Structure 1
Amino acid sequence: MKFLSLFSSVMFISILILLFIGFVFLYLFIAKKDNLLKANGLTEKKKKKKQNLRERFVMPLVKLGKKAGPIGINYPFFTDIQKTEILINQAGNPLGMHLQDFYGFRFVLAMCGLGFGSFYSFIGLPFAMPVILLAIFGGLFGPNVWIYFKAKNRQEMISIMMPDFLDTVSVTLSAGVSLDGALKQVTKQFEGPLSEEIDRFNREIELGVTRSSAYQGLIDRSSSKELHSLVNALMQGSNLGVPVSRTFKLQADDLRATRGFAAKEKAAKASPLITLVTTFFIAPSVIGLILGLLALNLIYNPEAFGLDHFFF
């Protein structure tokens, strides 16, 4: 019986892991598609119901996480605090969370997972121990997976918005407006993560931060290669005396050409990727679930198959 219990637990956990990996890949594919649609203005605005649901269920947990932050940050549990802080900055501090708040949020979710697992075990449902462990580990490491994808999607949005942003700034500069004035004016017209980063850059300049330090901060808060290329070009252009408007125009043309090739490449890779995920993760997990249930049925109910003499 111990062997059967162990076999059932291993099978259950393996299937959950395979399904989790498969659906994560599918989520990434759908998220990339949504980002492209948002960048081209083809999606509808978020409904108030979604915002109300987030305020009703998520924000109370975030508030508890801010209170539990001093406790949570002392127990990072196999995570790199510095790398996590970089991801939080790249994600734009979602839900108003900073490093300590994020670790408090993890701690709160882990406690919720422990409570759910305990209740699951208390009512006598099967696979109690695996469910408890999965709930706790999900609460601990789920936020890390979420912040990673949040940062990745935000940086992709920055890269997608760059050509249009650069064109608009170039036209504004050609009209005789200064660089700081052009950036302020354009950020009011654009919405999204790129405008947020440029607006933060402008505020730092107004507060007396040196331009080189503000440029470096902009690079540190982003992993977008396109934004890094622009900032490096601006820094070199200011040192060499190259006109800023020409720098923006050249960067915009180059990014448009690069983005066209990248879009074709991603479109060519999308279908094989979905097939790969379905073949190696989702399909095996479903087949394993069916075969595992069949094996358990054979072991626990052999008389239904005429095999009672074989097992006993």
Structure 2
Amino acid sequence: MNIVLTPLLALLLGLAGALSVGLFFWGVYLMTRKSDVAGDFVIEPPKKKQDGTFVLHRVTELIGRPFGPMVMDWIGEEQQARIRLRIDSAGRPEGLTVRRYAQRKAGEVLLYGGVGLFFLFDGSPVFAVVILAFSLLTDISLYSAKQQRQDEIQKQLPDFLDVLAVTVGSGLAFRQALSRVADSMPGVLASEFRFALHQMELGTSRREAFGALRRRNSNESLGRFVTALQQAEELGAPLSQTLQSIGQDMRREDAQYLRRRAQRLNPRVTGVTAATMLPGLLLLIGGGMFIGSDIDLSAIFG
């Protein structure tokens, strides 16, 4: 006896499968978690609504909220540290935290996995693969935000270093000069230095704070600036002269960076131009040849 799956039946089967998987993992979590005592409960302040959160992220975060603690327990402390570093590298978009990231990923797996199963049972594997690709939406958004952030840092770094060199040369201490320049030149780079200054105020050494700054950002120019600054501090070189020389090097690096970006854009522009103009050009030439040849297709098309 052959069973024909209607679209409605396939949708119900997909949603039932996603619900079964979610209930299974939730039951495993309840069986393996440790018992809570009254002293372990912590009252958290109410969270402010994130107005800039993407609507799909809101939906998946709401769906995965019950499974957030379970995911946090499963990934472990080491993986949480890696996720936190990725979020910091992207600039903590939309106030994202590791817990909210875990909730989003759980919601994406349940939501897009269920819809993907529906299209798979409906006989549309291509649509199923496309829907399942949406489960990487949070990671893609973090990667995109990180790349944009590094581009902005590359643009702001030479001017920031020039102003910092002048401020240090006027007689201010390095930490005071860095704080004043960061307040007077708002932007991505200034927020990174303010975060490093906040770490130093909490007791972190300058080397550790700037080392964390370098790990959060993959920008090569910023990494060289941190390395040169630490070497100047160890060797006792004049800080103002060091900053001026670093600023000049950064401007040359910025020009080379822009040239490399322009060279990478040339093949993309060529590919887009060919993909958009070539089909129309072939259609125009082929249509003109067909009309000009007076071919009679009545025998073929009846």
Q: Smaller-chain TM-score range? A: 0.5 to 0.7
Q: In 1, are the aligned partners of 2:57 and 2:104 still within 8 Å (CA)?
A: no
Per the alignment, do residues 157 and 173 of structure 1 end up closer, same or farther by CA in structure 2, a change over 3 Å counting? same
Aligned position for 2:38: none
Per the alignment, do residues 175 and 191 of structure 1 end up closer, same or farther by CA in structure 2, a change over 3 Å counting? same
- Whether 2:133 is the aligned partner of 1:138: answer yes
Aligned position for 1:186: 181
> What letter is aligned with 1:215?
F
> What letter is aligned with 2:208?
S
Q: Can you give the 5+ residue segments of structure 2 that lack an aligned partner in the other structure?
A: 1-49, 283-299
Per the alignment, do residues 190 and 179 of structure 1 end up closer, same or farther by CA in structure 2, a change over 3 Å counting? same
Per the alignment, do residues 270 and 68 of structure 1 end up closer, same or farther by CA in structure 2, a change over 3 Å counting? same
| Distance in 2 of aligned mates of 1:108 and 1:282 | 41
The Cα offsets for residues 287-310 of structure 1, whole Å up to 9 and x where unpaired, read as 9xxxxxxxxxxxxxxxxx769xxx
Which of the numbers 230, 239, 248 marks the counterpart of 2:243? 248
Which of the numbers 247, 251, 258 marks the counterpart of 1:263? 258
DSSP-derived class of the 2:91 partner: coil
Per the alignment, do residues 210 and 235 of structure 1 end up closer, same or farther by CA in structure 2, a change over 3 Å counting? same
Per the alignment, do residues 283 and 255 of structure 1 end up closer, same or farther by CA in structure 2, a change over 3 Å counting? same
TM-score, normalised by the number of residues in structure 2: 0.64
Per the alignment, do residues 132 and 273 of structure 1 end up closer, same or farther by CA in structure 2, a change over 3 Å counting? closer
Alignment of 1:203-242 (within 5 A): 203-242=198-237
| Distance in 1 of aligned mates of 2:148 and 2:104 | 21
- Whether 2:159 is the aligned partner of 1:159: answer no
TM-superposed CA distance for 1:116, in Å, is: 4.5
Per the alignment, do residues 283 and 145 of structure 1 end up closer, same or farther by CA in structure 2, a change over 3 Å counting? farther
Per the alignment, do residues 56 and 84 of structure 1 end up closer, same or farther by CA in structure 2, a change over 3 Å counting? closer
> What is the RMSD of the two structures over their aligned residues, measured on CA atoms?
3.5
Q: In 2, are the aligned partners of 1:68 and 1:105 still within 8 Å (CA)?
A: no
Count of aligned residue pairs for this structure pair = 231
Alignment of 1:1-312 (within 5 A): 54=53, 58-59=57-58, 61-62=60-61, 68-72=67-71, 84-114=83-113, 116-117=115-116, 128-135=124-131, 137-276=132-271, 279=274
TM-superposed CA distance for 1:82, in Å, is: 6.5
Per the alignment, do residues 159 and 241 of structure 1 end up closer, same or farther by CA in structure 2, a change over 3 Å counting? same
| Distance in 2 of aligned mates of 1:53 and 1:239 | 44
| Distance in 2 of aligned mates of 1:165 and 1:138 | 40
DSSP-derived class of the 1:162 partner: helix
Aligned position for 2:39: none
TM-superposed CA distance for 1:164, in Å, is: 0.8
Per the alignment, do residues 172 and 266 of structure 1 end up closer, same or farther by CA in structure 2, a change over 3 Å counting? same
TM-superposed CA distance for 1:152, in Å, is: 1.8
| Distance in 2 of aligned mates of 1:233 and 1:146 | 32
| Distance in 2 of aligned mates of 1:66 and 1:151 | 25
TM-superposed CA distance for 1:228, in Å, is: 0.8
TM-superposed CA distance for 1:88, in Å, is: 2.1
TM-superposed CA distance for 1:236, in Å, is: 0.6
Q: In 2, are the aligned partners of 1:66 and 1:100 still within 8 Å (CA)?
A: no
Identity among equivalent pairs (%) = 25
Aligned position for 2:12: none
| Distance in 1 of aligned mates of 2:118 and 2:52 | 24
Larger RCO of the pair (alpha carbons < 8 Å, separation 6+): 1
